[in-house]
A and B are shown apart, each in its own frame.
Chain A
Amino acid sequence: MQSHERQVRHSTDFPGWCDDVTDSTSPARFARRALLRAAVLRSHGDEGQRPEGALAGDTPAYTVTGKILDISPHILVLDTDDGEQRFPLASSAKAWRGGPVAPAALRQGDQAIVRRSKPGMSVVDRLWAEAGRVTGTIIERDGPATLLVDEGPAKGRRIVIIGAGATGRIQVRFPRLEPGYLIDVIGLRHDGFLEALLPATAQPPYPAGHPPVPPLVSGHVPDPLSGTAVWHEPGEEPTGLIGLAYPALDPETSCEQTRTVPVTCDGDLHAVDPHATGPGCIRLPYLSVGSMLRLRNDCSGRVRVLPVTGCGATARLFCDRCVSCGASQKGRIADLTMTAFVELGGNLEDGCFNATMTIGG
């Protein structure tokens, strides 16, 4: 008996720190969870969730990602996972590459994500190229504009260089560009660093390791929950993955294992383990990779059933509101993949949308 328990604990003690779809040798294991859950709960007539809801999350209806092979004012050619694809551009198509640009200003070789005006149609009306984002704790600052940011155990560290014309804009929203404080910026991806051009939120006033304690919950956690949905760069994930990094994965079977990182530089002293800072701004029910959530973009009205595909514990550190369409409830409830964010009608340069989340799909 004891030995079994030990083995289970070992089997969940992932060396890659986080129970992440991309770290797993068997992503199908996570995908099957929704079906198994539905089967065991539905067989008792309680909490039965339609397994077809799970299938709703796997393919984007509006969004395509790929590398730009060619672009003209009227036609976009993308190198996607499904091969070369051509898309006509709407006359009103808007493009973003560090700022609003004409679609023809995008470059060959840019990693792009595009949104079609209607599902299944090929006409594209929004394009983003080389969009990137860094969200985490500043652990080192070198000069006025170069920062080393720790994005948490699941994502590692990134270099951020604040763009020449963006310093004022970013410092207004992030007055403390000092080690130990949080940063969340959007910009252009370059080889080895992010050129920060836009603040994605306002800087929380507290040091990264001390987010406010949320009020206690009496009874059950409300379902659905409202809050802010943000996006993250694909990193090791497949670029077209539709899913979300969830801020409260089950600490017993997922990514909240205690990490012991030896301090090798001054920056390590400022690194914050988001798993050690409490529940963050909002108390979310514990879930696992493979759990299905129904997420609604309150601004666009689009709804999607999405799988949890990773650990988004860094989102716990931010106790902010999204003001895309009125002020959202405080706290980040979902850290979406880029594709999922765009699919739900979000604009990457906005950084967030007001969201309502229902557990279970």
Chain B
Amino acid sequence: MVGVRDLQVPLLACILLIGCAGKAWRVVRDRSVASALGPTILFPWQLRRPIMFAMSVAEFCLSSALLVTAGRFQAGLPANAVRVCTALFFLVATGTLYEVRQRRPGVGCGCFGEFSDTPIGLRTIGRAALLCAAAAVATGAPPLRMPASPAQAWLWLGVLGVELALLAALSPEIGQFLVRLGYSEPCELRRLPVARTLSALRASAQWRHYAGQVSADIPQDVWREGCWRFVVFPGLANGRRTDVVFAVYLQPRRPPIRVAVLDETALSADSLI
């Protein structure tokens, strides 16, 4: 049990460090503290930036202090003071998250930067409470040391695994992260060059079938609507001028293609605009 208490210190330090790094990365990427506001939304405009800054600095200082006091160096009163401060930090965080959820239910906690945009739920609040409990449990624990036996090492690893699984279950950020890993953009949002559309069109059976009716090499109009790109060629059929319209679905390989041949005189749209 004593060893389990010891494990909390590096775990808390890592989580604080990841939280601080996540916020800092967002601020650096967006070149704006404002983008990582999170719970500071509760405060007046002028105070948000300093509070955001203070929160990140507190996370960094606590994580550093936890690591420095984890071993024999500074054990005892300094180590316990740092752990009590960490417990207080997470206690305040729990209360603040609850308050933000009540007042601004659409706001994310911003705990881990851009991954924490999901509105604050009970899981997020529960995670802060769990970390608060972990810091409280770690208070009074002896300096961190190596396990005395392989059996103890396995026990510690098992406990660490369970705790990490619990934290993962309480973290909506994990879902966001996994979504990004396997994310494929919907076709209506995907950028696809016109040149690729034309290549796919010219390699298709539909093109070969209607190429004889097309009277120009260059399309007279190309535009896009959602997942479809439309390519219009001037055409000639039975001596009449036509529009040969191809609709090419925007997918990288073997896109579905549809064709319509329209009598040009039947399409008078001058009155539309």
Contacts and interface: CB of A to CB of B under 8 A. Distances in A.
Interface of A: 1, 4-5, 7-9, 11-12, 21, 27-37, 39-41, 43-44, 47, 54-55, 57-58, 175, 205-207, 209-210, 212-213, 215-221, 241, 243, 250-254, 279, 283, 285-291, 307, 309, 359-360
Contacts of B102: none
Nearest to A252: B194
B35 to A, nearest CB: 5
Contacts of B228: 37, 41, 47
29 contacts: A30-B273, A33-B221, A34-B269, A35-B267, A36-B245, A37-B225, A37-B228, A37-B247, A40-B245, A41-B228, A47-B228, A206-B35, A212-B35, A213-B114, A216-B179, A217-B186, A221-B226, A241-B273, A251-B191, A252-B191, A252-B224, A253-B223, A285-B189, A285-B227, A286-B188, A286-B225, A286-B226, A290-B223, A359-B225
B224 A286 contact: yes
B225 A207 contact: no
Which of B183, B191, B219, B269 has the most chain A CB within a 10 Å cutoff? B269
Contacts of B232: 36
A43 to B, nearest CB: 5
Nearest to B179: A216
A97 B191 CA distance: 44
A57 B269 CA distance: 13
Contact of B194 (A9, A241, A307): A9
Instruction: Kindly list the 4 A-B residue pairs having the minimum CB-CB distance in the complex, ordered from nearest.
Output: A31-B272, A285-B188, A288-B223, A40-B260
Contacts of B226: 221, 285-287, 359-360
Given A210-B30, A252-B194, A287-B224, A40 B246 contact: yes
Interface string B4-42: 000000000000000000000000001110110100000
B179 A218 contact: yes
A359 B245 CA distance: 20
Given A8-B219, A221-B188, A252-B194, A32 B269 contact: yes
Contact of B35 (A30, A210, A216, A288): A210
Contacts of A217: 185-186, 189
Contact of B260 (A33, A39, A252): A39
A23 to B, nearest CB: 13
Contacts of B224: 250, 252-253, 286-288
A243 B272 CA distance: 11
Nearest to A242: B273
B81 interface: no
Interface of B: 30-32, 34-35, 37, 45, 48, 114, 117, 179-180, 183, 185-189, 191-195, 198-199, 202, 217-219, 221-228, 230, 232, 243, 245-247, 258-260, 262, 267, 269-273
Given A30-B273, A206-B35, A37 B195 contact: no
A217 B186 CA distance: 7
A34 B269 CA distance: 9
B32 A206 contact: yes
Contacts of B35: 206, 210, 212
Q: Is the interface of A mostly helix, strand, loop or mixed?
A: loop
Contacts of A12: 194, 222
A27 B273 contact: yes
A5 B194 contact: yes
B218 A207 contact: no
Contacts of B260: 36, 39-40, 43
Given A28-B270, A40-B260, 12 more contacts: A5-B195, A12-B222, A28-B273, A33-B230, A206-B32, A206-B35, A210-B32, A216-B183, A220-B188, A253-B224, A279-B189, A288-B223
Contacts of A31: 269-273
A307 B273 CA distance: 8
A100 to B, nearest CB: 30
Given A4-B217, A288-B225, A36 B230 contact: yes
B223 to A, nearest CB: 4
A339 to B, nearest CB: 13
A224 to B, nearest CB: 13
A32 B189 CA distance: 24
Contact of B225 (A57, A58, A291): A291
B218 A43 contact: no
A215 B272 contact: no
A215 B217 CA distance: 41
Contact of B258 (A44, A219, A286, A290): A44
Q: Which of A29, A35, A252, A290 has the most CB of B within 10 A?
A: A252
B259 A40 contact: yes
Nearest to A206: B34
